[in-house]
Amino acid sequence: MKGLMLLIGAVLAAAGMFVLLHGASYTQDRSVVKIAGFEAKVSEHHAIPPWAGGIALAAGAVLIVVGLAKKR
């Protein structure tokens, strides 16, 4: 369990640092019009807010500290 907490904490911390330093975004396809066999789609780009990266970084740090401090 200790190793799992350290691993999850490290992944969260790394993802949080990436979002804070480089920014991150994702693309979402949305259907606008559907008529018979015709469908029009729009791709929307959404940015992940920096505060989400900060929360992920803080949560990862907490998991790492708890994983290291956990008694054997």
pLDDT (tens digit per residue) in 9-61: 999 999 999 999 998 999 999 988 998 889 999 999 999 999 999 999 999 99
Q: Which two tokens stand for residue 68?
A: 């290291």
**Alpha carbon 22 to chain centroid, angstroms:** 13
**What is the pLDDT, as a whole number, of residue 8?**
93
**What is the pLDDT, as a whole number, of residue 71?**
62
**What is the pLDDT, as a whole number, of residue 21?**
92
The answer to whether 12 and 63 have CB atoms below 8 angstroms apart is yes
If we measure between CA atoms, which residue out of 43, 19, 17 comes closest to residue 31? 43
The residues spanned by each domain of the chain are 2-69
